[in-house]
Structure 1
Amino acid sequence: MDNYWTRIDKAKAALEEADKILLGGGAGLSAAAGIAYSGKPFTDHFGPFIDKYGFTDLYTSSFYPFATQEEKWAYWSKHISLSRYEAGPTKLYQDIFRLVQDKSYFVITTNVESQFEKAGFPPDNVFEIQGNYSYLQCAKGCHNKLYYNEQLVKDMIEKTVDCQIPTELVPQCPVCGGKMDPNLRMNPYFVQDEKWHERDTSYKDFLLNAEGKKIVFLELGVGFNTPGIIRYPFERMTFHNEKAILIRLNKDHPEGMEEIKDKTISFTEDMQEIVLAVMK
């Protein structure tokens, strides 16, 4: 691997010369931005849930099989509020926006906390393919409408007692009368509404228009939880486009396809530091 400043210079040149930039944001990006799923932010906000259920972090606790809907939504309202509504725009996301704002770009992300939008990215340029904390859906996906949840989440938190919400606040599907879930891709019933399909079309159009052009695939903190969404497609598209460059910022998994080794610029250093260095 080239030394740090050589890689910075190569990344800067690739971004400056690019006709198109496709950003791929994964969980490592939000972690680098300071949106923590464990540690002090978690223990400060989830003390009663830690005591009652033995939770250790937001990720694993989201799979807990709560016995009642009252318990489930006491937890999820806190989870959604902390990750989506209480977290403001972060410097890392804002700097990434400044890095690409004058270029032709698009974002695909598996993150669900709307940090790209908060940082200034126009919503039409961001495809949140795995869902969004701001919305609820029918748990069985009986229809494809989503429901904005900010006020409901606030009411749930305000009236939570002993890790339970009042029964009257438990959301019910307005169509089938069944249970509701956060709009997250966690089972086969994930709802893809009209806006989701519009962003999917925009993503495909962006890729179509980038064929044969100088494109940079800027991959940010994408690991192996869902590699088939961003990581592997970015590698394949880099391989098939002779003018493409893959810039991979990944502290833990910088490795990639041997076939595109000469077209890949990898960084394991601090993500904020890298973005600022490329911007200079």
Structure 2
Amino acid sequence: MYSKTATGKSTKSSLAELRSALDQAEAVFVGAGAGLSASAGFAYSGPRFRRYFSDFEEKYGFHDMYTGGFTRFSSPEEQWAYWSRMIFLNRYCDPPKPVYQNLHKLVGDKDYFVLTTNVDHCFQKAGFDKARLFYTQGDYGLWQCSRPCHQKTYDNETAVRQMLEAQGFSIEKGGLGLLLGMSPKMTVPTELVPHCPKCGAPMSMNLRADHTFVEDEGWHAAAARYQDFVGRHQGSAILYLELGVGLNTPGIIKYNFWQQAYDNPKAVYACVNRGQAFAPRELKSRSICVDGDIHAVVEQLTKPAITGKNGWL
């Protein structure tokens, strides 16, 4: 097991070092976790949660969208009222801050690939090439058979919009609206509850939670492209750029990146995260850790700069 080395706050020197690593890299392997979308403004708690889910909070006592996703609701109609809001706000709305667009400016001209546990589609909305993305854990925009009786996923945008309108919401850019003084319904009509078109079982989210997760043709194609990228860059000067990855599922990105960087003497490992920026001692001489807001760091990296002996000027 690797031993972590804690780091201090973001400095001009660390930013300059990361900018230099980006410039010199033959390829960039981006690993993105929930912290990246949080830095873009996709907050799952606080005012954003209360604005759209105060009725569910009052009834069930949870205080964030993530916890709500594991709640046992009183009926399928209520379950899909909750999930339709959750899906729309985090999949079909654009995040308030342009961190994904700025990241694309940084790596778009490189030979890059993105491995992410995020399920909000933000990379594609920001212009990243779909063929360079691997969403390992699913997509808010897809449903699957809950059994599942077959390995296929289904787009849900039209159905989600119908559910929201049935609750009394109007679809607005960046969110949902209600007429003044109105409260949304907490259920959707029974006829809008989704069922599998093949076996009739309830549909579920295409999100990895257990063995029922459907890995469809698109998932396997992305997995193959990921393996191809890894194979092509063994031994090359590659930058492993980890953004907002926590410790919920560290084996997918964090430990994976550590091992690949350790095996390649030409590789550099960079970690940008608020409060969790660290690298293993074994990579200390080839690691860059920036403890700070990802949006601010990425924005700074896109600006013209001069580097000197004192770092970022």
TM-score when normalising by structure 2 = 0.86
Name the counterpart of 1:235: 258
Q: Check whether the contact 2:30–2:241 (CA below 8 A) recurs between aligned residues.
A: yes
Q: Check whether the contact 2:279–2:289 (CA below 8 A) recurs between aligned residues.
A: no
Which residue, out of 142, 145, 148, partners 1:141?
Answer: 148
RMSD: 1.4
Which residue, out of 17, 36, 39, partners 1:32?
Answer: 39
Is 1:262–2:285 an aligned residue pair? yes
Name the counterpart of 1:116: 123
Unaligned runs of 5+ in 1: none
Name the counterpart of 1:183: 206
Could you say which structure has the higher helix fraction? 1
Q: Cα deviations across residues 77-132 of structure 1 (Å, max 9, x unaligned)?
A: 11001111123574111000000011000001111111111111011111111111
Could you say which structure has the higher strand fraction? 2
Kindly state the Cα deviation for residue 278 of structure 1 after the two structures are TM-superposed: 2.4
Q: Check whether the contact 1:89–1:118 (CA below 8 A) recurs between aligned residues.
A: no
Q: Check whether the contact 1:48–1:162 (CA below 8 A) recurs between aligned residues.
A: no
Equivalent residues in 2 for 1:1-280, closer than 5 Å: 4-88=11-95, 90-160=97-167, 162-279=185-302, 280=304
**Aligned counterparts of 2:275 and 2:67: Cα–Cα separation in 1:** 20
Q: In structure 2, the residue corresponding to 1:46 is in which secondary structure?
A: helix
Letter in 1 for 2:262: F
Kindly state the Cα deviation for residue 264 of structure 1 after the two structures are TM-superposed: 1.0
Kindly state the Cα deviation for residue 206 of structure 1 after the two structures are TM-superposed: 0.2
Q: Share of identical aligned residues, percent?
A: 43
**Aligned counterparts of 1:151 and 1:49: Cα–Cα separation in 2:** 23
Larger relative contact order (CA 8 Å, sep ≥ 6): 2
TM-score when normalising by structure 1 = 0.96
Q: Cα deviations across residues 167-225 of structure 1 (Å, max 9, x unaligned)?
A: 11111111111111111111211111101101000000000000010000000000011
**Aligned counterparts of 1:121 and 1:202: Cα–Cα separation in 2:** 15
Which structure has the greater CA radius of gyration? 2
Runs of 4 or more off by more than 4 Å in structure 1?
A: none
Letter in 2 for 1:159: A
Unaligned runs of 5+ in 2: 1-6, 168-183, 305-313
**Aligned counterparts of 2:29 and 2:89: Cα–Cα separation in 1:** 28
